[in-house]
């Protein structure tokens, strides 16, 4: 059986043998790009190469890129724990052509890698193309022999890729693997494009052709280019013949660690399984984000990290932890992944301290907040109502540190929603008060303890922290 690690190096070697330069993963904090919250795809570090603004010594590249999809345009936070295939943190394998090869070669490489190099069964693979991309459909059929009935056509939402609201974009062609009926939703309509885990997208080949400006206008790129992305965890699921990313060797270790720590068994009880998956995933995101220089805070990137950590803390509570546990699972992640990402080693103690501090602070208010929320739910149920009032959501947010999406997540299972307009009104009233009473510099976002930690733990070449407030607004 091939390990995740072997698959990662096989991919890079395959493309190296075909003239691609292997480039290291860039940081999760996008370099000099305020339009992007976190690095969400392999192509991010090459954005200017696609736009023709930057020339490099190579026109073909391949990477294994750390990605985070939480907040921002590609947001998978809500999917984590519920699907077998979505993470907030994952690794994306990619090959890139900067004005060199285009559709024909990209499709040929992808198909050769999957069906020859990795030996995947063609009868379980499907492909998609953008609505009117006959060229790509013909290449799949005529050049690679994929039967027409296995080639699907989808519109903008699925088959036109963009990294954000602006920047490089273009039609794309995705490759799907049939995980088998046991994994699916069982609906007679279930097919490629269904939201369930049966037909799993493994690889996206983007034919970069445009630059989208803020007003939505598409300007052709100087040269058409190729950007591809394949989730390492997903292709590993396929090759290891398991049903979920969490059963691959890439995540099985962290799950086992959580089993041991909690004394609960994965696979024994559905709610616990969700909690274990959330903790496993969020521990990875937390460790990597902090190692790359993000700190939990009340705004921007730091707030997305805080939301991830508080979701994890709540699931830890549900699993029965009454003491901080995430700093231990984050440490496990760093120890087990430092081979591929050596930056984790030197920052290990620092990251564990930051996680522990954030956890300890939140644990102090979590129980009380949950009690208030549960009382509210019970009261509303009696009254036959299903909406949590804005003032309650605000109080949980303001006094107990519950991010709004956390509150929504907690009550969703019981069919409750939040009065968001009411919450916004409370927020606005508070902002108004703050404007009247306080003239802050913004530096307060980093509390004293974090400032101390960063002074202790930072090597001078580590430039991440300076960018704490260099982010695009979340909405």
Q: Minimum distance from CB of 39 to ligand ATP (Å)?
A: 12
Which of Mg ion, ligand ATP, none lies near 86, with the C-beta cut-off 5 to 8 A by kind?
ligand ATP
Nearer to ligand ATP, 133 or 201 (CB): 201
Using alpha carbons only, give the angle 50, 113, 14 rounded to the nearest 5 degrees: 70
Contact 278, 322 (CB under 8 A): no
Q: Does 90 help bind ligand ATP (rule: CB under 6 A)?
A: yes
Which of ligand ATP, Mg ion, none lies near 257, with the C-beta cut-off 5 to 8 A by kind?
none
State the residue number with the nearest CB to Mg ion.
Answer: 204
In whole angstroms, give the CA distance from residue 264 to residue 258: 8
Q: Does 129 help bind ligand ATP (rule: CB under 6 A)?
A: no
Q: Does 236 help bind ligand ATP (rule: CB under 6 A)?
A: no
Nearer to ligand ATP, 23 or 230 (CB): 230
Q: Does 229 help bind ligand ATP (rule: CB under 6 A)?
A: yes
Q: Minimum distance from CB of 362 to Mg ion (Å)?
A: 28
Nearer to ligand ATP, 78 or 135 (CB): 78
Residue 173 sits at φ, ψ, to 5 deg, of -135, 120
Q: Does 204 help bind ligand ATP (rule: CB under 6 A)?
A: yes
CB atoms under 10 Å from CB of 350, counted, come to 18
Which of ligand ATP, Mg ion, none lies near 87, with the C-beta cut-off 5 to 8 A by kind?
ligand ATP
Nearer to ligand ATP, 245 or 329 (CB): 245
Which of Mg ion, ligand ATP, none lies near 47, with the C-beta cut-off 5 to 8 A by kind?
none
**What x-and-dash track marks residues 191-210 binding Mg ion by CB under 5 A?**
----------x--x------
Residues contacting residue 327 through CB under 8 Å, at least 6 positions apart: 352, 353, 355, 356, 359
Which of Mg ion, ligand ATP, none lies near 207, with the C-beta cut-off 5 to 8 A by kind?
none
Nearer to Mg ion, 230 or 396 (CB): 230
State the residue number with the nearest CB to ligand ATP.
Answer: 231
Which of Mg ion, ligand ATP, none lies near 229, with the C-beta cut-off 5 to 8 A by kind?
ligand ATP
Q: Does 201 help bind ligand ATP (rule: CB under 6 A)?
A: yes
**Which region among 8-16, 137-145, 225-233, 363-371 touches ligand ATP (by CB under 6 A)?**
225-233
**Which region among 82-90, 253-261, 266-274, 297-305 touches ligand ATP (by CB under 6 A)?**
82-90
Q: Minimum distance from CB of 108 to ligand ATP (Å)?
A: 18
Q: Does 231 help bind ligand ATP (rule: CB under 6 A)?
A: yes
In whole angstroms, give the CA distance from residue 461 to residue 85: 35
Q: Does 202 help bind ligand ATP (rule: CB under 6 A)?
A: yes
Contact 406, 306 (CB under 8 A): no
Give, as ranges, the residues between 434 and 463 that touch ligand ATP (CB under 6 A).
Answer: none
Nearer to Mg ion, 25 or 205 (CB): 205
Q: Does 230 help bind ligand ATP (rule: CB under 6 A)?
A: yes
Q: Minimum distance from CB of 74 to Mg ion (Å)?
A: 6
Nearer to Mg ion, 173 or 407 (CB): 173
Footprint on this chain of Mg ion (rule: CB under 5 A): 201, 204
| Sites of contact with ligand ATP (CB under 6 A) | 69, 74, 76, 86-87, 90, 92, 201-204, 229-231, 233-234
């Amino acid at each position: 059986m091939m390990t995740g690690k072997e698959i990662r190096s096989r991919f890079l070697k395959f493309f190296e043998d075909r003239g691609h330069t292997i480039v290291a993963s860039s940081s999760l904090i996008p370099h000099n790009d305020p339009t992007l919250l976190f690095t969400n795809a392999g192509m991010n570090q090459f954005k200017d190469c696609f736009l023709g603004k930057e020339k490099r010594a190579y026109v073909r590249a391949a990477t294994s890129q750390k990605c985070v999809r939480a907040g921002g345009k590609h947001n998978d936070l809500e999917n984590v724990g519920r699907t077998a295939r979505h993470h907030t943190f994952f690794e994306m394998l990619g090959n890139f052509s900067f004005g060199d090869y285009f559709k024909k070669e990209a499709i040929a490489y992808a198909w050769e890698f999957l069906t020859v190099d990795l030996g995947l069964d063609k009868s379980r693979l499907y492909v998609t193309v953008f609505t009117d991309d006959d060229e790509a459909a013909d290449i799949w059929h005529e050049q690679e022999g994929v039967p027409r009935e296995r080639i699907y056509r989808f519109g903008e939402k699925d088959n036109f890729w963009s990294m954000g609201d602006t920047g490089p974009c273009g039609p794309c062609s995705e490759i799907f693997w049939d995980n088998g009926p046991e994994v699916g939703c069982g609906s007679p309509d279930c097919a490629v494009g269904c939201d369930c885990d049966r037909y799993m997208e493994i690889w996206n080949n983007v034919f970069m052709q445009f630059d989208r400006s803020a007003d939505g206008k598409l300007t052709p790129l100087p040269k058409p280019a190729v950007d591809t992305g394949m989730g390492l965890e997903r292709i590993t699921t396929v090759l290891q013949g398991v049903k979920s990313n969490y059963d691959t060797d890439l995540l099985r270790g962290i799950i086992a660690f959580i089993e041991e720590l909690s004394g609960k068994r994965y696979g024994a009880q559905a709610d616990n399984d969700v909690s274990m998956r959330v903790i496993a995933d969020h521990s990875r995101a937390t460790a990597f984000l902090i190692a790359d220089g993000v700190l939990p805070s009340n705004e921007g990137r730091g707030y997305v990290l805080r939301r991830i950590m508080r979701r994890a803390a709540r699931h830890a509570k549900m699993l029965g932890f009454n003491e901080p546990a995430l700093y231990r699972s984050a440490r496990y992640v760093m120890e087990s992944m430092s081979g591929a990402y050596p930056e984790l080693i030197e920052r290990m103690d620092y990251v564990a301290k930051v996680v522990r501090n954030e956890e300890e602070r939140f644990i102090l208010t979590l129980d009380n907040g949950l009690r208030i929320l549960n009382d509210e739910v019970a009261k509303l149920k009696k009254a036959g109502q299903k909406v949590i009032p804005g003032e309650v959501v605000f109080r949980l947010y303001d006094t107990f540190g519950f991010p709004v999406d956390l509150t929504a997540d907690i009550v969703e299972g019981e069919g409750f929603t939040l009065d968001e307009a009411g919450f916004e009104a409370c927020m606005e009233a508070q902002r108004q008060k703050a404007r009247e009473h306080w003239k802050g510099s913004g530096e307060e976002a980093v509390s004293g303890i974090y400032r101390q930690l960063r002074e202790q733990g930072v090597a001078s070449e580590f430039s991440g922290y300076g960018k704490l407030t260099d982010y695009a607004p979340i909405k």
